[in-house]
Amino acid sequence: MSTELYHHPKRSVVYNAERLCAILCLGLALVLPTAAWSQENRIQIRSGFEPFSDKVQVRGAASPSDELTLDIFVKVRDYDGYVKYFKQMELGNRLPEKEEQKLLQSFEPSLEDYDTLIGWIREQGLSIVFMDREGNRKIVRAKGRIDDLESAFKVKFAEVQVDGKHYNAAQSPPTLPSSIARIVMVVNGFQPYRQLIQNVRNVVVKAAPLKAK
């Protein structure tokens, strides 16, 4: 099937739930790409994470028994083709609807990768709140205790105050085993005071990769 895109003047750019999820996922990943972390053959996932700003006041250690919910976005297949598609869509260049749907399906993560991620999440003692195994497989929502999350993602949490409200938030970026990191694009929710939409760029632009540390 040809993936060449063309302008379709009678169709407006309307994002359904699936496409919006994909755009959010892509936008988050491009804000801060991943970088290799040498210890324990793990990968440091920096997407969706920022160092504490002056507005974030650390109040102490987070309670180990508190729970937090994470949205884990799964990497698409043919990432370069995916970026090209959304750049063209932003410009109003569209395929006929059936061809576009088929193209989007070709980007969906594989069922094997999705099941591998779900299995790893459960092995860490976390619970699955939402999964889309029979759909586009772009997201898994997981929930767990702070101590289990610290062990699984090798992060430290603190109790913080932002604009008068209290949260449990990660003080460092999450890391994943390399076999799992290759599947994951974004882990969102480690800093609940941040809004997801703040990380999304209006136009999809591929960022330069960070150097390994």
* 28/211: higher pLDDT: 28
Residue ranges in 57-139 assigned as alpha helix (H): 79-90, 97-107, 111-123
Q: What does the pLDDT read at residue 46?
A: 62
pLDDT the model gives residue 22: 54
Among 170, 179, 203, 145, residue whose Cα is nearest residue 58: 170
In whole angstroms, what is the distance from residue 154 CA to residue 137 CA?
25
Q: Is the pLDDT of residue 70 over 80?
A: yes
Distance, CA of 10 to chain centre: 33
- Residue 28: its H or E element: helix 17-31
Query: Running DSSP on this structure, what letter comes out for residue 5?
Result: -
pLDDT at 170 over 50: yes
The answer, yes or no, to whether residue 37 has pLDDT greater than 60, is no
- 33 vs 99, higher pLDDT: 99
Q: What percent of the chain has pLDDT over 90?
A: 41
Q: How confident is the model at residue 195 (pLDDT cuts 50, 70, 90)?
A: low
Q: What is the pLDDT of residue 82?
A: 82
